[in-house]
Structures are given as structure tokens and as C-alpha cells.
A = this chain, B = another copy of it.
Amino acid sequence: MAFEFGSVLSAAAISKASRFSGYPPFHFVGGNIDEPTVPVEALADAISKVIRDQGHAMAKYGMNSGPQGYLPLREFVCNCLQGRTGIAATPEEVLLTSGSLQAMDLVNRVLLDKGDVVLLEAANYSGALSRLDALGVDYAGIELDQDGMRMDALERVLSELAEAGRKPKYIYTIPTVQNPTGSVMPVERRREMLALAKAYDVPVFEDDCYADLVFSGERPPAIHALDDDQRVIYCGTFSKTIAPALRVGYLVAPWSLLSSVLPLKTDAGSGALEQMVLAEYLPEHFDDHVSGLLPMLTAKAAALCDALDEHFGESVEYDRPVGGIYLWVSLPENVDTDRLFQVALEQGVEINPGSQWTVDGTANKHRMRLCFGHPPIDNIREGIARLADICFEEFGVPVRSGNVARD
């Protein structure tokens, strides 16, 4: 009797969600951040003030600022980027978005057609890969090392494409706290990337979502800041420093591109309330707030590494994080992390299997990404201990954990 929607779904409607049932006890995924550090008191004060002062303007789509978003926040983004990244941008070159995911969607929408090709780091943010898949866009993964995307590999692929009469629509890079490997690309390599981009006449799409979370507080200039040709599109976010659920990101691009992006942003504006509260809160508080996060994240990263050392011992390899909220871990080759993901989830531990964070999934079948931004330290320790037991049960490694030998 009920109408059968299943018989009229579009070609895009390929998956079905299950009902939300909360989070597993040990949740090493998702880019969530530390709950206690969300600055709720200061945000409450800020929002209370600014909504009384400015809130009537919410009666208009775009308030008094138009489609690029709340002007005071765009002004803050410009000032902030100048200081932190070296980028010199004007508010006209900033578009406030509903998270950096929307920035990525808009860049894709304005530049990509089915059959285009893009280049990106060989291990990458699963959300970037799934978007390219959904768009029918080809992509080639460029080899990484401990300093990020390798320029010899980039040059080789650009050259091969050129010989085949093709040119990538952009080079997508996460140069500062690469997702998932955590590397920070040195400045010399950034300049090499720009030189190659120029030689092959290709733009660069720089994603700096985690860049504020370098533990030392020191970071190279953004690729955008080193560029003289206006060929870099840049995106960032406040999701990882303030709170992901706010959904405030930004795209920085020349007006020549933004003017083509704006007609494609058909949502009648990103949320005004969060833009107003951040414009009020951030100028006074952002630097101190971020500085306050870094020791906490350093401690969580250390706790995760210590727990891995204790429970997995020689069975894992990783580079200690220098920033961000995740760790990229290599397990022995016989460990299939897709399988590990499944059995671990059944037992209350969620990890990111390497295959979903890789252009060529098979290369990272024995790797996993573990997010440490959200769980408290004791939960990290307990979760890794449990993961080691689960892994041993399934794959026979690790044999030793702490003082206990498994059999």
C-alpha cells in the first residue's frame, strides 16, 4: 500500500543509510575534536552580543554582506591568513562556505567535467576521492614521502599526461599536515610545485584544513602565498580549531574565479549565525585558543603513539605526528585493514581502513588512519589495547602487548 520509492530512485541513489545509533565506545575516526576545549562560554558571550547588535539583518538572505558571506568574518580571515600563512587576500577574494567541504564542492563544480583528470597525493582524504568518483573525474595519485607529495613523481605524471595530450584541471594538495600521512611539505618543495604548475599551466588547489594544528606553531608559508601567478585556489576551515558542527570554512581565490563560483553556490547563503559569532569571537581569541589546543593535541598524539608502542610493539610503523588529529599506521602485510575495520567495529572499535584513504586502495591494505582529536587519553589507551587484542585474534599479530605474550 505504501508508495514504493525504491522503484523510482535516481542513478545517484546507490546507498542506504542505517539508523543512527550513536558512536562506538572507541571511535578513532571522523575528524571530530576534543569536546572540553570547545570555547562555549566565550562563544556564548560573543553570540549574545552580536545577535543583539546585528541580528535584525538576518531578515535578509546574505544579510548586509551579500553572497560571499559576513564581511567582518571575511576581514578576519584575511588578517588571520596574512599572519599565519603569508597569504595576502582581500575580502573580495574570500567566500565563506558551509565547511571546507562546500569549498571543495564548489571548486569541483566550477572546474570539473566528467572525464577531466586531476592530480592529488596518493594517500588522501576519503571525502575528496568519493567526490571525484561521484563526478566521473579521473585522478592520478602522486607518490608521497615524509615531506609530502614528491615532485619527481608529479613531474613524471604531468609529462606523461602532456604526451597524451591531457592536462589536469588542478593539482590538489594538502601540504601542511597532509591527510592521512601527517607530513608538512617544506618550502623548497612548495616552490618546485609552483614551478611545475607554471610550466604545465595548471592551477593548484591547496587545502589547509589542518594547518593551524601544527604542534610547534611553526609552518611554512602557504603555497598560495608563494605564488605570483594567481594560480592557487586555497581553502581552510574553523572545523578543527573551533568546532566541526559549526560548518564554517572559506575559499580564497581570485575574483576572476570567484565570480564564476558564486552563481553555482545556490544555497541562498551559508549560515549567518555561526559567521557572526566567529567574527565576534575570533579576533580577540583565536590565537590564544589555538595555542591552547596544541599541548592537548601533542599529549593525545603521544598517548596514542605510546599505546601503539606498548600494545603493537614492532608490529606497527608510523611517523610521530607533528600536527593535526590523525595518525597513519602501517601494520604487517598480512593484516587486511578492511577486515580489521569490520571485526573491530563489531567489538566497539572504529578505525579508518587504509584502502579508503588511498587512490590505489591495494597499496594501503595494511595501513590504517587513527584519529585522536576527540577521544580522551584513557579512552585512547583502552581502545588501542582492545584493538591489539582484536588484531591478534584475527591476524595473529601483535604477539606481544605490554608484558603479555598472546598465544
Contact = CB atoms under 8 A, between A and B. Distances in A.
Interface of A: 1-3, 5-6, 8-20, 22-23, 30-38, 40-41, 43-45, 47-48, 51-52, 55-68, 92, 98-99, 101-102, 105, 109-113, 116, 127, 130-131, 169, 201, 203, 228-231, 243-247, 254-264, 266-274, 277, 374
Contacts of A266: 101, 105, 127, 130-131
Contacts of A269: 244-245, 247
A16 B263 contact: yes
**Interface residues of A, dominant DSSP:** loop
Nearest to A36: B56
B56 A203 contact: no
Contact of A5 (B1, B68, B257, B264): B257
B245 A59 contact: yes
A164 to B, nearest CB: 17
A135 to B, nearest CB: 10
18 contacts: A5-B257, A8-B111, A9-B110, A10-B110, A12-B110, A13-B264, A16-B259, A16-B260, A33-B59, A35-B60, A38-B58, A44-B48, A60-B374, A62-B245, A244-B268, A247-B271, A271-B273, A273-B274
Nearest to A41: B52
B61 A32 contact: yes
Contact of A271 (B98, B259, B264): B98
Contact of A244 (B6, B58, B262): B58
A169 B11 CA distance: 13
B5 A60 contact: no
A394 to B, nearest CB: 28
A5 B254 contact: yes
Given A203-B5, A271-B247, A47 B51 contact: yes
A231 B27 CA distance: 38
A105 B20 CA distance: 22
Nearest to A263: B15
A256 B6 contact: yes
